[in-house]
Structure 1
Amino acid sequence: MLDAHNIGRSRPANPPVIRQLDEAAINRIAAGEVVERPASAVKELVENALDAGALRIGIDVADGGKTLIRVSDDGCGMTAADLPLALSRHATSKIDGSDLLNIHSFGFRGEALPSLGAVGRLTLTSRAAGAEAATLSVEGGRMAAVRPAALTRGTVVELRDLFFATPARLKFMRTDRAEMQAIADVVKRLALAQPQVGFTLRDVSGGEGRLLFRADPEPGDFFDALHGRVARVLGADFAENALRIDVAHDGLRLLGYAALPTYSRGSSVAQFLFVNSRPVLDRQLFGALRAGYMDVLSRDRHPAAVLNLQCDPQQVDVNVHPAKAEVRFREPALVRGLVVSGLRQALAAAGHRASTTVAGETLTAFRPEPRIYQMDRPSQPTLAQALHWQAPGFAEAPQARFEEQAPASDEPPRPLGAAKAQLHENYIIAQTASGMVIVDQHAAHERLVYQRLKAQRDSSGIAAQALLIPEIVSLSPADASRLLDAAADLAALGLVIEPFGGNAVAVRETPAILGRVDAQALLRDILDDLADLGDSTRVQARMDAVLSRMACHGSVRSGRQMRAEEMNALLREMEATPLSGQCNHGRPTYVELKLADIERLFGRR
């Protein structure tokens, strides 16, 4: 137990002696930086295989990687003379040391293999073209002699008893299941980075080989291969609802797929970012991804994306951290701008499109427990059927709809169909050529007003209308100060406020496009947004947040009855407006159900 009297700094009785650490200790310390857990070892070994030009890579793991990690590849291999060098610290074939910025490979430090050999039992077996296979083992930093081996091609790296030489590290390992999940995540991330390469991951604990993950090499160009790999790794739903991203500017190019906003997730687990095909965990890139969806997602939802930023290696420093997960860009503002603008262009080009999963979730909510319907059983016609019996009170089949004139043959198709009814004074029911659409009138109109406000602001500024009698709003000192600090930005949005003595402000003009608004409620909502965004957020973000709040106040409210022409006008404007498939908070504005799905709900199929 610690004695409180002994806590603190004290002068040592004897001055410390500076010593040169031996090679084994140096390698064990290096291993602590490079190999944090079994997943780190898998990452380093698989990246070595990719650097060797492998097209198929197999990973076998036992007990969460604690007792065995074996990585086999069909790459270029090594000769017997290369093996001792490969296990020597700071020896690498990937750079010559003259330029640490011109790096085209995953690895370049020459630390992974010697570090693993320092803390585990490592065996390296390899065969280069035109040479005989050879093997070399190292245990706790002690290297054995090179011996002949049997191997057709490529390299096999086998690591047993990870951290046996540093048993204290084993106490910090998690359960076998958790470590295996971390390994699977690493393999999937690398599989997304290299869609033309095949990967298999097996759990060989207890001697039984259980396939955990398999991704065969994908054919086609980069986008075809990546789309196939995305479907395999992240699921068909992601691939079906992903938008192709391909933008370039000033030597930078962003490629990949980003999902529709209505396919958002509750966490960032479906975000995979790469720089020159290197998986990275870079705060700046993740922040740019978030900013690209700022207009279409609420703060508690996260976009899904697989994006690869290609650039000249001279423009990015990957030598920031031993694990090489962090990078530093020479022109970070240029990178951020490309990511944000590329995502916004793709989202805008998607128009009114919403993710297909919205319909699937709706059908799941509708679908009852399986049952056998009477209509499905073979039976003889009943007496009522034979006499064409009708229920009392109905002269004919009941109907509840309004009819509209059919569109002319030369009119363009209507993806959102024709309005047929309004339910609960909030939901518009429209019939399409292949099914039906249910529209949330408030959410849809909120998005339309928001897009109009932004277009008006960007073109000529938002027109304001003066109030006949200014509205006085009393606030707290902090709120009044925050609001008046943003007065210039608000004026550009058509909302003119002035101090009115004490802690009150006077609202003199409001955006004309909104018509009559409750100024006090609008100001309080704007204050909430400004407080949430904070002072570090760019002015543009603050203005967009205010516009979004204004749009909410100026949109068609729930509970309002709409005429047929109003509903159809709303549908037509949705079809012509970018991002109208989701409201400003990322929720869907409409659900589309195909006729075949509706028929299945009633047991017709």
Structure 2
Amino acid sequence: MEVERRIQRLPQSVVNKIAAGEVIERPASVVKELLENAVDALARSIEVDIEAGGAELIRIADDGEGIHPDDVELAVTAHATSKLQSADDLFHVRTMGFRGEALASIAEVSRFKLRTRKAEQLTGVEVDIEAGILKEPRACGCPAGTTVEVRQLFVNTPVRRKFLKAPATEFGHIAEQFTRIALANPNLRLLLRHNGKTVYDLPATSRLSERLELFYGTELADKLIPIEAEAGAARIWGYVAHPSESKSTRKGQYLFLNGRWIQDRSLQHALGEAFRGLLMVGRYPVAFLFLEIPPDDVDVNVHPTKSEVRFRDNQQLYRLVLSTLRTKFLSMDIGAGHRLEAGSEPRPSTPPAAAGRQRQAQQELVSWANSALAGWRPNSDLADLKAKVEPPRVNWPSPVTETVPGANAYGESAFDTTNRPGDAAFSGEHADHVSDDRRVTDADSAEVASPPAAQSSPIRHVSVDESRAGPASADAEIRAMQVHDCYLVIETTQGLTVIDQHALHERIMYEHLRRRVLAGGVEVQRLLMPIPVELSPREAGLLIDQQDLLRELGLQVEEFGGSTVAVTGYPVLTRKTDPVELVKGVVEQLEQTDGKLSRRDLLDSLLHMMACKAAIKAGQRLSPEEIETLLAQRHLVDDAHHCPHGRPTALTLSRQELDRQFGRLG
């Protein structure tokens, strides 16, 4: 007989676990809550120590007001707070936190320790909580402020612990939360360490642009456009980046409301509308915008993490964002680029104090590279070894610098490898990094590149039937011409075909890369000197997390320190693409997928991106030999009618349509 289930009050420990499930999703959630508490405590300096992506240790120490000794036990109790006195206070909230849930929720699912001392007290107080069980507080010596240690997160909820990602990924999420607090509070000195290594050491500053430069580098900082406007009681200030710095996702958009990072679709839409006509489809602007409105005009108590809010007059803010940005763009030559000028810094309503900052030098890279090469010694048998692994070379009189295995099948070596406008960044800046060492398969070693046509030969004209039947033979002719350095026009038996040179070459490169990956033989250009790429910690985490997958594609990256990765090798087929640009393209692709794709689909998505970057571009002038080779390669791919993204590679205008347009029919 089934026992009747009666309604009962849940134990407080179960209530806390449920609350923890809403508020504490992963280690980054703990960091967010504790950082917000430190900001509310009026701290001037905050230090964050992380171990194993936050799964083993999260320690946050601040020099804020501290907690009164008599309130320590209450501070780790659910729904106990000093930030609210009545329900009306919910509509005048000026602090980051106010519910009093965070510490109790965190303590319920970890080994928790809190040490605190107010400046006027001689000794501090320490309290331990073991998986929700509170131990007796005791006196301790500690600096003024509060230090919270969270060890073995989800220790008593093993199912939740299993859902944690790799440490690099989890730390990436932590670094993102750290970034949001750091951008919202440039007046604070902030330090972030992971496994004992300093990732960020940010001095307090009165200039937001200085902090942005520390996070995103001078390249972005030099293209920031200052924004500032007011409308009634509302105020907006901050920066947007030049359209050339757009991203493939909205992750470069930071919106802050009264110092709190928020997500709001309406404001993001206004931002996108302001950039309409300045960005390509699928690209999103980079922005760091700060909104200041009276607290009673917004309800922040509508989301467990307070990342979403409800405005009293949403349309007013929408118009403020849209009109401010459009007015700014109309007042400047947005197409010519922009460099931030001294004195153009927008200011928050209460300017914080200033301080300085020094960047790390490249010496770390040199010492890292030296240690990586320290075990190498000259070998008298090196020449014999290279003779065994290197594919045979044929010194054809052409601009091609080196034979690429497999070039006879896809004709990559027939394309001019001399510097074109898009190649300058790589060929100049990173040329000295290149090594002759390559990984090839046995099948590749037997392949020899086809000789290019003589430089002086014009495009040959042959029968149309031959050009339609298959690859052009030595005597075949292809009637073709390049239009606007973008399209190829050829004659067919049915009429005219117009080919998008980039789309066709992208399809060819994609098929070639895909077959190489399936065969396990992607040719790799190894580098004598690794190329450093500065990323955000979250981006670096995404990249390192997919190291093995990227190695299958021929892209070799290693952790270098902090949020910097080092490129040690890249696919030969992408040799005309700047490795830094290639890595950043991979990062954007990983951000777009955001773990939602299977390994196979992610691999295919990355192949699409790499083929796109390696293919010849619209606006690139091709020689007659290059045109001929590209057209001949159409017959070597499975689907020459569409690029990997689904766009058509060619459009056909029939002879009948031509005759009809010129009035030759009936």
Q: TM-score band (shorter)?
A: 0.5 to 0.7
Q: 2:93 aligns with which of 96, 100, 103?
A: 103
Work out whether residues 80 and 146 of structure 1, in 8 Å CA contact, stay in contact via their aligned partners in 2: no
User: Which residue is equivalent to 1:63?
Assistant: 52
Question: Tell me, what secondary structure is at the counterpart of 1:262?
Answer: helix
Q: Which residue of 2 aligns with 1:215?
A: 202
Judge conservation of contact 1:263–1:355 (CA < 8 Å) in 2. no
Q: What does residue 592 of structure 1 align with? A: none
The C-alpha deviation readout for 1:381-403, integer Å capped at 9, x for no partner, is xxxxxxxxxxxxxxxxxxxxxxx
- Could you tell me how far apart the structure 2 residues matched to 1:17 and 1:161 are? 36
**How far 1:288 sits from its partner (Å)?**
1.7
Distance in 1 of aligned mates of 2:429 and 2:215: 31
Partner amino acid for 1:174?
Answer: K
Aligned twin of 1:76:
65
Deviation string 1:73-129 (CA, Å, 9 cap, x unpaired) is 011111211211110111111121232110000000000000011111111100102
- Mapping 1:536-575, distance limit 5 Å: none
Mapped pair 1:254 → 2:245: no
Distance 2:231 2:292 in 1: 11
Equivalents in 2 of 1:80, 1:346: separation in Å? 52
| Residue number among 228, 233, 236 corresponding to 2:218 in the alignment | 236
1:560-599 matched pairs, under 5 angstroms: none
**What is the TM-score when the length of structure 2 is the normalising length?**
0.51
Decide whether the 8 Å contact of 1:133 with 1:148 is kept in 2.
Answer: yes
Equivalent residues of 2:224, 2:338 under 8 A apart: no
Q: Cα gap change, 1:119/1:425 in structure 2, threshold over 3 Å: closer, same or farther? A: closer
Distance change in 2, residues 1:181/1:369 (3 Å): closer
The reply to whether residue 50 of structure 1 matches residue 39 of structure 2 is yes
1:32 aligns with 2:30: no
Is the Cα contact below 8 Å between 1:126 and 1:155 reproduced in 2? yes
Q: Do the aligned partners of 1:121 and 1:162 also contact (CA within 8 Å) in 2?
A: yes
Tell me what 1:87 maps to: 76
* Contact 2:115–2:148 under 8 Å retained in 1: yes
Which secondary structure does the structure 1 equivalent of 2:176 belong to? helix
Give the alignment partner of residue 298 of structure 1, picking from 280, 289, 300. 280
Q: Which residue of 2 aligns with 1:364?
A: 425
Q: Aligned partners of 1:24, 1:370: CA distance in 2, in Å?
A: 61
Contact conserved, 1:260 with 1:354, CA < 8 A, in 2? no
- Structure 1 range deviating more: 260-269 or 250-259: 260-269
Q: For 1:169-248, what aligned pairs fall within 5 Å after superposition?
A: 169-204=160-195, 209-218=196-205, 220=206, 225-248=207-230
The Cα offsets for residues 159-208 of structure 1, whole Å up to 9 and x where unpaired, read as 1111112111112111111101110111011111111111111113xxxx
- What CA distance in whole angstroms lies between the structure 1 residues aligned with 2:191 and 2:332? 35
CA deviation digits over 1:399-443, x for unaligned, max 9?
Answer: xxxxxxxxxxxxxxxxxxxxxxxxx9899xxxxxxxxxxxxxxxx
Once the two structures are superposed, the pairs formed by residues 412-451 of structure 1 within 5 Å of their partners are none
Q: What one-letter code is carried by the residue in structure 2 that aligns with 1:126?
A: T
Change (3 A) 1:202 1:40: same
Cα distance in 1 for partners of 2:41, 2:320 equals 32
Q: How far apart, in 1, do the equivalents of 2:200 and 2:213 lie? A: 13
From the superposition, tell whether residues 352 and 176 of structure 1 become closer, same or farther in structure 2 (CA, over 3 Å).
Answer: closer
Any conservation in 2 of the 1:75–1:155 contact (CA below 8 Å)?
yes
The answer as to whether partners of 1:200 and 1:215 remain within 8 angstroms in 2 is yes
Q: What is the alpha-carbon distance in structure 2 between the residues aligned to residue 55 and residue 340 of structure 1? A: 35
Find the partner of 2:108 among 118, 129, 133: 118
**Bigger Rg, structure 1 or 2:** 1
8 Å Cα contact 1:262-1:354 kept in structure 2:
no
**Any idea what SS the aligned residue of 1:83 has?**
helix
* CA offset digits 1:319-353 (Å, max 9, x no partner): 01110111111111111111111111222222245
Say which of 150, 172, 178 aligns to 1:159: 150
Match of 1:130 among 120, 130, 137: 120
What are the Cα deviations for residues 453-512 of structure 1, in whole angstroms up to 9, with x where unaligned? xxxxxxxxxxxxxxxxxxxxxxxxxxxxxxxxxxxxxxxxxxxxxxxxxxxxxxxxxxxx
1:272 matched residue in structure 2? 254
Q: Deviations over 1:542-601 (max 9, x none)?
A: xxxxxxxxxxxxxxxx99xxxxxxxxxxxxxxxxxxxxxxxxxxxxxxxxxxxxxxxxxx
20-29 vs 133-142, which moves further: 133-142
Paired letter, 1:217: A
Any conservation in 1 of the 2:115–2:127 contact (CA below 8 Å)? Answer: yes
AA aligned to 2:236 is: L
Q: Which amino acid aligns with 1:116?
A: I
Structure 2 counterpart of 1:115, one-letter code: S
1:77–1:155 Cα contact (<8 Å) kept = yes
| Preserved contact between residue 225 and residue 338 of structure 2 (Cα < 8 Å) | no
CA-CA distance at 1:256 after TM superposition: 0.4
> How far 1:226 sits from its partner (Å)?
0.7
Deviations 1:48-85 (A, max 9, x none): 00000111111001111111100000111112112111
Q: Is the 8 A contact 2:189 2:204 kept in 1?
A: yes
CA change 1:172–1:425 in 2 (3 A) is closer
Any idea what SS the aligned residue of 1:339 has? Answer: helix
Secondary structure at the aligned position of 1:106 is classed as coil
What amino acid sits opposite 2:167 in the alignment?
D
Q: How does 1:275-286 map to 2 (within 5 A)?
A: 275-286=257-268
Query: Is residue 80–residue 135 contact of structure 1 (8 Å, CA) maintained in 2?
Result: no
Judged with a 3 Å threshold, the aligned counterparts in structure 2 of structure 1 residues 352 and 282 are, in CA distance, closer, same or farther, namely: closer
- For 2:324 and 2:426, locate their aligned partners in 1 and report how far apart those are by CA, in whole Å: 35
CA–CA distance in structure 2, aligned partners of residues 104 and 226 of structure 1: 21
Number of equivalent positions: 357
Alpha-carbon distance between aligned partners in 1 of 2:147 and 2:36, rounded to the nearest angstrom = 13
Q: What is the rounded CA distance, in whole Å, between the counterparts of 2:427 and 2:233 in structure 1?
A: 50
Structure 1 counterpart SS, 2:186: coil
- The offset of 1:295, in angstroms, is 2.7
Deviates more, 1:80-89 or 1:284-293: 284-293
Question: Aligned in 2, Cα 1:361/1:116: closer, same or farther, shift over 3 Å?
Answer: farther
Q: Distance in 2 between matches of 1:22 and 1:267?
A: 43
- The residue type equivalent to 1:23 in the other structure is Q
Whole-Å separation in 2 of the counterparts to 1:369 and 1:232: 24
